[in-house]
Structure 1
Amino acid sequence: MATDAQIRAKKKWAEKNKEKATYTKYKSNCKTFINNYLNNIEDLQEVKNWINEKEKQLKSND
């Protein structure tokens, strides 16, 4: 279990780094969804399509 000091430090870091904290939270949520909740091939294909579209978008911005 985290100490009070660790909890305060984590909260302070999250407040100071809101954008990075949000990014990390969403990335973790995505991984959790894929690994623990995605349970049919159709949903998996939909997620893969989103990823492929985002990859194309990112490559075209380079």
Structure 2
Amino acid sequence: MRRQHVAPTASPPSDDFHAAGYEVHVNLSPVVVHDGRLDDWRELLGLITRHAPYLRVRYAF
């Protein structure tokens, strides 16, 4: 069963921290392995990029 995403209607709190000059990080762990996970990750990273473009996405494997 896939979850339905609802786009935020207001600026995320990270916008306030970024505007105040702070570096903002997002931790996306743990990673749950399941069928369709790559599509879910693509969607999640796309949402982050669209709604908080100042975040730099780094991968650690």
Asked if these proteins are the same fold (TM beyond 0.5), I'd say: no
TM-score (norm 1): 0.32
TM-score (norm 2): 0.33
Larger radius of gyration: 1
Question: Which protein has greater RCO, CA pairs closer than 8 Å, 6+ apart?
Answer: 2
Structure number with the higher helix fraction is: 1
